[in-house]
Structure 1
Amino acid sequence: METPTQRWCFKMNNSKDMSVVCKGIVENAKDSIVARWAGIESFRWLVGNGRSILFWEDVWCGDSPLRAEFPRLFRLALNKNSLVKDFSMLNGFMEVNWADLFSCLLLDGEIHMVSRLKEALSNIILFPEVKDRLLWIHDNKGVFSVRKLTELLLSVGGGFKFRF
Structure 2
Amino acid sequence: MVKSCGSRIYTPHGRGLWRKILIQWPRFQQCIKWNLCRGNKISFWEDEWLGEGCLMRRYPRIYAIAQNKKIAVEEAYRVTKEKVKWSVFISRNLNDWEISEYGDLLKILEAQQLKTNDDLVVWKLEKKGEFSVTSYCRFLCARDDTDCSSFPAVQIWMTKAPPRIAFFAWEGCWEKILTIDKFSVRGQILINGCYCCFQAEETCNHLLLWCPMPYNLWCMVHGLLGIEWVIAGSVGMEICA
Length-normalised TM-score, structure 2:
0.46
> How far did residue 44 of structure 1 move?
0.6
CA RMSD of aligned residues (A): 3.8
Q: 1:97 to 1:83 in 2, by over 3 A?
A: closer
Bigger relative contact order, structure 1 or 2 (CA pairs below 8 A, ≥6 apart): 1
Bigger Cα Rg: 2
CA distance in 1 between counterparts of 2:5 and 2:35 reads: 12
> Counterpart in 2 of 1:21?
none
Answer whether contact 2:39 2:73 (CA < 8 A) is retained. Answer: yes
Whichever residue aligns with residue 52 of structure 2, its letter is: D
Whichever residue aligns with residue 69 of structure 1, its letter is: R
Length-normalised TM-score, structure 1:
0.65
> Counterpart in 2 of 1:63?
52
Structure 2 alignment gaps of length 5 or more: 8-13, 141-146, 154-169, 172-241
Q: 1:134 to 1:59 in 2, by over 3 A?
A: same
> Counterpart in 2 of 1:118?
106
Whichever residue aligns with residue 123 of structure 2, its letter is: W
Answer whether contact 1:45 1:134 (CA < 8 A) is retained. Answer: yes
Instruction: Give the aligned length.
Output: 139
Answer whether contact 2:48 2:54 (CA < 8 A) is retained. Answer: yes
How big is each residue's C-alpha offset from its partner over 1:67-119, in whole Å with a ceiling of 9 and x where there is no partner? 1111110111011110001111129x952354xx1111112321211111122
Output aligned runs, 1:1-164, within 5 Å. Answer: 3-6=3-6, 13=17, 39-90=28-79, 95-98=85-88, 101-127=89-115, 129-146=116-133, 158-162=149-153, 163=170
Q: Following superposition, which runs of at least 4 residues in structure 1 exceed 6 angstroms of deviation?
A: 150-153
Identity over aligned residues, as a percent?
Answer: 25
CA distance in 2 between counterparts of 1:140 and 1:126 reads: 25
CA distance in 1 between counterparts of 2:93 and 2:61 reads: 13
